[in-house]
Amino acid sequence: MDANASGEEYENIDWNTDDELEIQNIAPSSHATLASLNAQTVVSNGEASSSAGPSNSNLFQHFLGMGFSEQLIAKAIKENGEANTESILESLLTYSVLEVEDSPDELNSCHLNSPQQQQQQQQQQSCVENGELSSDYDESVCDDLSESDDSSWSGGSEVANNTSSLPKHEKSLLSLANMGYSIEEASAAMERCGPEASIVELTDFICAAQMAKTEAVFFEDEKPKLPLRVNGDFKKRKLYDLEIWKTKKRKGILSEEDEGLRLPNPMIGFGVPTDTHVITHRVLPDAAIGPPFFYYENVALAPKGVWDTISRFLYDVEPEFVDSKYFCAAARKRGYVHNLPIKNRFPLLPLPPRTVNDALPLTKRWWPEWDKRTKLNCLQTVIGSAKLTDRIRKALEKWGDNPPVHVQKFVLEQCRKWNLVWVGKNKVAPLEPDEVEMLLGFPRNHTRGGGISRTDRYKSLGNSFQVDTVAYHLSVLKDIFPNGINMLSLFSGIGGAEVALHRLGIPLKNVVSVEISEANRDIVRSWWEQTNQKGNLIHLADVQQLNGDRLEQFMGSFGGFDLIVGGSPCNNLAGSNRVSRDGLEGEHSSLFYDYFRILDIVKCIMNNK
């Protein structure tokens, strides 16, 4: 019914309407609703105490009298404006349901130790250490969690009525589901704890499992973020989920189908320039529809469940998994979550060479017939050692032109593992930094000089985008923004997105770039100057310091962001990490949540103006 709004390929992109806000409030279709509310708090926090009070005190008193808390009322008024009393009430009711569902008493002990709160504590701590009082967002989240206003709201009596006829274990299942746990989690817990386990035991088990897996932060409140507006709807929804789950369980298709997204094979996403079978149509969830456009990237082969979480947070947009081996001579399997149109994409020209032979012609002469590689493996942050290439040379020299199979196998194994190429008779070598630059689509010497060490060059390059791949996805912006764009670039690294847009011929008007590494910032600044950019480049070091106030300042000065790009750290996701592949909650990779946080704030600000 609202397929026009969501599905029709942005044919009439008109995101700057003022009534977006109402639509967003009336038809929340995902967890984004709660998240938006949290972010909303940030935006309004500064004003709520100063401006929201006196001017509309009647309205305030009205809702106070109904038993809602000041905080919620401020939030609701800010979001709906003062005029529309009905939608304010709607929002207040929604908030109340959210909070009731959020913090059932039995779970309190779990909540205290949840990874989410630990993370928040860490964040707050780091804010304090930095001497920056930029933690208003974190505080607001904590407030929302701890300060449940449920004394003013009583709901949930329907459950008893609706479920009284169910068998005991299903009742428990439903209780857990109503607390916000997934049916799958609840079921697993019941299997482990036995049929007689109490709800408290079950929730403890789930919490323990969650912490052990250190997966899915925000787990406790992510399920309540699913469609719900009043208590009854939520219960019905869970009853419905239960039925679906029972059906699946009967059919025995639960374990495979319900867990995780499947990687496409071949990994070409919605299509690549050289493939004729290009998908040009998809339906985005309502909550994902901009502005702004967003583009998020990370490694495709992350631990199980990571992409489900990422996708859920990014408004339920399904990731587009693409291997850059279809764009250049090296593999690079990545997932991209974005709300860009996918029709009429075009590649950067000339198309880069797509075999090692073409990309590195000098290696052709030395490439043995028994090395069948035509593509390189993923370019990583470290390279093979001299000692290894020496061992390989010595191993080969003993055998002349036709080494025995076991030697071939050893050499090939090492070549694949370290991305070695043939540079002389019996000589293999790791790629030079400028070769990596070329393969990734950067200008030659992009990372060279300016004080960066060779080791750090490899590291910066290994952490970067493949420019042609990203440019192909971003190419649709050229027609939409003929006069250029304002971009927020998070975790910019060496500026893959900036380079991609520049090579597409899309003018960069204002770029706010957040990057922790000084060396990388220097690289981007040099590139910016060398390419005679006409726009403004604003550099920040720390995403955690980028709060609602700063964002409002930026957006106020040049009118909002058209695009938010970011590839958050993959350290704790990548397969090469033997030490701390901790998943999305890892020390570095949890910065994904900052991408989401910032995107959501910008989204709120854009939709309120």
Partner DNA sequence: CACACCATGACGGGCGTG
Partner DNA sequence: CACGCCCGTCATGGTGTG
Residue numbers 255-274 binding DNA by CB under 7 A: 260, 262-263, 265
Q: Does 61 bind DNA (CB under 7 A)?
A: no
Using CB under 7 A, pick the residue from 142, 301, 395, 540 that binds DNA.
301
Q: Does 420 bind DNA (CB under 7 A)?
A: no
| Contact stretch for DNA (CB under 7 A) within 41-49, 53-61, 218-226, 569-577 | 569-577
- The answer to whether 485 and 507 have CB atoms below 8 angstroms apart is yes
56/377 with CB nearer DNA: 377
Minimum CB–partner distance for residue 218 and DNA (Å): 20
127/452 with CB nearer DNA: 452
Minimum CB–partner distance for residue 274 and DNA (Å): 18
Let me know if 420 is exposed, middle or buried by CB neighbors in 10 A (0-12, 13-18, 19+).
buried
Minimum CB–partner distance for residue 562 and DNA (Å): 22
Q: Does 179 bind DNA (CB under 7 A)?
A: no
Q: Does 89 bind DNA (CB under 7 A)?
A: no
Q: Does 574 bind DNA (CB under 7 A)?
A: yes
Minimum CB–partner distance for residue 576 and DNA (Å): 3
Minimum CB–partner distance for residue 489 and DNA (Å): 13
Q: Does 209 bind DNA (CB under 7 A)?
A: no
Residue numbers 458-517 binding DNA by CB under 7 A: 459, 462-464
Minimum CB–partner distance for residue 365 and DNA (Å): 23
Look at strands 427-429 and 421-424 and give their pairing.
antiparallel
Minimum CB–partner distance for residue 317 and DNA (Å): 17
Instruction: Look at the block and give the residue holding tokens 């404006």.
Output: 81
Q: How far is CA 345 from CA 270, 354, 438, in A?
A: 10, 19, 22
Backbone angles phi, psi at 280, to 5 degrees: -115, 5
| Contact stretch for DNA (CB under 7 A) within 29-37, 54-62, 229-237, 580-588 | 580-588
Residue type, 486: N
202/436 with CB nearer DNA: 436
Q: Does 411 bind DNA (CB under 7 A)?
A: no
Using CB under 7 A, pick the residue from 236, 304, 364, 398 that binds DNA.
304
> CB count, 10 Å around CB of 443?
16
User: Which residues is 513 bridged to in the sheet?
Assistant: 489, 539
Q: Does 575 bind DNA (CB under 7 A)?
A: yes
Minimum CB–partner distance for residue 441 and DNA (Å): 13
Say how far apart CA 245 and CA 400 lie, in whole Å.
63
SS (H, E, C) 517-573: CHHHHHHHHHHHHHCCCCCEEEEECCHHHCCHHHHHHHHHHHCCCCEEEEECCCCCC
Q: Does 417 bind DNA (CB under 7 A)?
A: yes
Q: Does 433 bind DNA (CB under 7 A)?
A: no
Q: How far is CA 242 from CA 95, 163, 170, in A?
A: 24, 11, 8
Give the residue from 300, 311, 301, 320 showing the smallest Cα distance to 474: 320
77/378 with CB nearer DNA: 378
Give the residue from 108, 124, 81, 99 showing the smallest Cα distance to 34: 99
Minimum CB–partner distance for residue 571 and DNA (Å): 3
Q: Does 372 bind DNA (CB under 7 A)?
A: no
Using CB under 7 A, pick the residue from 96, 298, 447, 590 that binds DNA.
298
SS (H, E, C) 105-148: HHHHHHHHCCHHHHHHHHHHHHHHHCCCCCCHHHHHHHHHHHCC
> CB count, 10 Å around CB of 204?
18
Omega into 347 within 30° of 0, i.e. cis?
no
Using CB under 7 A, pick the residue from 208, 581, 608, 609 that binds DNA.
581
Say how far apart CA 79 and CA 81 lie, in whole Å.
6
| Contact stretch for DNA (CB under 7 A) within 79-87, 189-197, 481-489, 579-587 | 579-587
Provide the sign of the torsion angle of the four alpha carbons 245, 247, 250, 255, taken in this order: negative
404/451 with CB nearer DNA: 451
Number of amino acids touching DNA (CB under 7 A): 53
Minimum CB–partner distance for residue 585 and DNA (Å): 14
User: Which residues is 581 bridged to in the sheet?
Assistant: none
Residue numbers 507-566 binding DNA by CB under 7 A: none
Using CB under 7 A, pick the residue from 311, 381, 408, 608 that binds DNA.
381
Minimum CB–partner distance for residue 424 and DNA (Å): 18
Give the residue from 482, 473, 486, 485 showing the smallest Cα distance to 441: 473
Using CB under 7 A, pick the residue from 49, 57, 274, 385 that binds DNA.
385
Say how far apart CA 186 and CA 206 lie, in whole Å.
7
Omega into 350 within 30° of 0, i.e. cis?
yes
Using CB under 7 A, pick the residue from 332, 473, 502, 539 that binds DNA.
332
Say how far apart CA 409 and CA 398 lie, in whole Å.
15
Q: Does 374 bind DNA (CB under 7 A)?
A: no
Residue type, 190: M
| Contact stretch for DNA (CB under 7 A) within 22-30, 184-192, 446-454, 480-488 | 446-454
107/378 with CB nearer DNA: 378
Minimum CB–partner distance for residue 586 and DNA (Å): 8
Q: Describe the crossing of helices 496-504 and 467-474 by its angle, rounded to 10 degrees.
A: 60
242/340 with CB nearer DNA: 340
Say how far apart CA 391 and CA 411 lie, in whole Å.
9
228/436 with CB nearer DNA: 436
4/265 with CB nearer DNA: 265
User: Which residues is 436 bridged to in the sheet?
Assistant: none
444/454 with CB nearer DNA: 454
* C-alpha 203: how far from chain center: 28
| Contact stretch for DNA (CB under 7 A) within 109-117, 142-150, 479-487, 570-578 | 570-578
Using CB under 7 A, pick the residue from 387, 400, 404, 534 that binds DNA.
387
Residue 195, both tokens? 């049929």
> CB count, 10 Å around CB of 59?
17
Minimum CB–partner distance for residue 303 and DNA (Å): 4
Instruction: Look at the block and give the residue holding tokens 């052709």.
Output: 364
Q: How far is CA 311 from CA 314, 460, 475, in A?
A: 5, 26, 23
Write out the residues near DNA by the rule CB under 7 A: 260, 262-263, 265, 297-301, 303-304, 331-334, 377-378, 380-382, 385-388, 413, 416-417, 451-456, 459, 462-464, 567-581, 588
